[in-house]
């Protein structure tokens, strides 16, 4: 490897460079990859992971962890479908889902920040509780959508692009702004860097952490509503294992699990890399079993790269 090439790879934009290279390679060598249809399909497939990754980024940046996201997505989807079926109003369904998602997040946040219970344990517990609630509410079966207008949430298009992709794009922009340009974002990063020093510098640590989890719950609800609309029903078993894909995507995107380091560009690239890997494997008809291995390897490589980068910068 020449020196300047090494510098680019290990620089701040290293991942973006790798992404662009990988994208170019794949476009050339994989048939049917760079078609409009495949591109839209690719983006559709990353909507859920991408939306949840927006707030997971905050969670990880503040040195926290959230395992309950998959369950909240399923639960909120159920709530949206059931509430709109019961009232006949899609709006009520959406609001109920947002409320329920936010409530679960709020509970996570309060338990973690105020009662100082480890985030891993807390969200492991709520992950199971919430999944249980979804199963109980539906008696373990999928609940069909009555009002066909509900499908339009996922099917409608603007300028030829499906609305879920627009939602994803808007959330990326909004949370990117929040992370870099607001007090809330900077406080999140500071808490991740050194929670005690942040508290002594006047940061409202508990409040910030509670908000992070509440937002996470609400954003999961958005993902859940769109997912339910796409699969035309509320599925209590939807989004199992989502937390792992989301955290992988964030880590791939350079979000440090030790807190204090995160960037929206990285997260977007992380989400896209995971999406492309899956998409390409599908196009090449690689059996699903191998896909697990590939995903794991990609994650390991990304973390290794991150490590190399840190030591190249002389951080210890």
Partner 1 sequence: MSFLEFSHISKAYPGVQALSDVSFSVAKGAIHGLMGENGAGKSTMIRVLSGDQHADTGDIVIDGQVQKYASTRDAFHAGVIVIHQELQLVPELTVAENLRLGRFPANAGVIQARQMFSEVGEKLKSAGIDIDPRRKVKTLSIGERQMVEIAKAIMLDARVIALDEPTSSLSSRESEILFALIERLRAEGKVILYISHRLDEVFRLCDSLTVLRDGKLAAHHPSLENVTREQVVAEMVGREISNVWGWRARTVGDVRLKAEAIAGDKLMQPASFEARAGEILGFFGLIGAGRSELMRLVYGADLRSGGTISVDGQAIRAVDPRQAIRAGIVLCSEDRKHDGIIQGRSLEENINISSRRHNTRFGILNPRKEAEIAETYIKKLKVRTPSRKQDILNLSGGNQQKVILGRWLSEQGVRVLIVDEPTRGIDVGAKSEIYEILYQLAEQGMAIIVVSSELPEVMGICDRILVMCGGRISAHIDRNDFSERAILAAALPDKKTPDAIAS
At 161 the three-state DSSP class reads: strand
Applying CB under 8 A, which of residues 124, 186, 282, 308 lies at the interface with partner 1?
A: 186
Spatial CA neighbour of 176 closest among 268, 276, 52, 250:
268
4 binds partner 1 (CB under 8 A): no
Sign of CA dihedral 227, 228, 229, 230: positive
- By the 8 A CB rule, do 42 and 279 touch? yes
Q: Cα–Cα distance between 47 and 247 in angstroms, integer?
A: 15
Exactly one of 159, 241, 289, 315 binds partner 1 (CB under 8 A); that residue is: 315
Tell me how far CA of residue 149 lies from CA of 12, 85, 86, 91, 230, in angstroms: 45, 12, 15, 11, 12
Who's near 166: CB < 8 A, 6+ residues apart? 158
* Binding of residue 309 to partner 1 (CB under 8 A): no
Q: Of residues 128, 182, 307, 311, which one binds partner 1 by CB under 8 A?
A: 182
Q: Is 184 helix (H, G, I), strand (E, B) or coil?
A: helix
Q: Which CB sits closer to partner 1, 41 or 193?
A: 193
> Closer to partner 1 at the Cβ: 7 or 157?
7
Size of the site for partner 1 (CB under 8 A): 27
Q: How far is the CB of 259 from partner 1 (least distance, A)?
A: 8
197-236: which residues touch partner 1 (CB under 8 A)? 197-204
Residue 201 in 3-state DSSP? coil
- E strands, 118-159, are 143-144, 157-158
Q: By CB under 8 A, is residue 314 in contact with partner 1?
A: yes
Among 41, 117, 193, 303, binds partner 1 (CB under 8 A): 193
- Taking the least distance from each CB to partner 1, the nearer of 146 and 180 is 180
Pick the piece of the chain touching partner 1 (CB under 8 A) from 44-52, 88-96, 116-124, 253-261: 253-261
Q: Which positions lie near partner 1, rule CB under 8 A?
A: 181-184, 186, 189-190, 192-194, 196-204, 256, 259-261, 313-316
């Amino acid at each position: 490897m020449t020196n300047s090439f090494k510098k680019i790879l290990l620089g701040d934009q290293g991942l973006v460079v790798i992404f662009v290279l990988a994208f170019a390679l794949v476009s050339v060598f994989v048939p049917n990859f760079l078609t409009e249809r495949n591109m839209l399909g690719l983006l559709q497939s990353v909507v859920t992971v991408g939306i949840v990754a927006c707030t997971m980024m905050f969670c990880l940046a503040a040195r926290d962890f959230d395992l309950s996201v998959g369950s909240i997505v399923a639960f909120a989807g159920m709530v949206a479908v059931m509430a709109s079926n019961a009232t006949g109003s899609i709006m009520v369904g959406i609001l109920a889902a947002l409320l329920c998602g936010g409530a679960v997040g709020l509970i996570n946040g309060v338990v973690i920040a105020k009662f100082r219970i480890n985030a891993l344990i807390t969200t492991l517990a709520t992950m199971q509780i919430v999944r249980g609630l979804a199963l109980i509410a539906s008696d373990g079966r999928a609940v069909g959508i009555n009002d066909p207008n509900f499908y339009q949430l996922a099917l409608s298009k603007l300028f030829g692009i499906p609305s879920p992709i627009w939602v994803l794009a808007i959330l990326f922009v909004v949370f990117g702004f929040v992370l870099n340009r607001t007090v809330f974002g900077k406080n999140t990063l500071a808490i991740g860097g050194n929670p005690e020093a942040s508290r002594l510098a006047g940061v409202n640590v508990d409040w910030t952490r509670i908000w992070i989890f509440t937002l996470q719950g609400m954003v999961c609800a958005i993902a859940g509503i769109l997912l339910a609309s796409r699969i035309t029903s509320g599925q209590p078993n939807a989004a199992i294992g989502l937390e792992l894909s989301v955290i992988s995507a964030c880590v791939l995107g350079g979000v440090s699990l030790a807190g204090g380091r995160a960037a929206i560009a990285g997260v977007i690239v992380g989400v896209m890399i995971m999406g492309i890997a899956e998409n390409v494997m599908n196009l090449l008809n690689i059996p699903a079993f191998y896909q697990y291995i590939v995903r794991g390897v990609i994650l390991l490589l990304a973390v290794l790269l991150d490590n190399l980068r840190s030591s190249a910068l002389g951080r210890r």
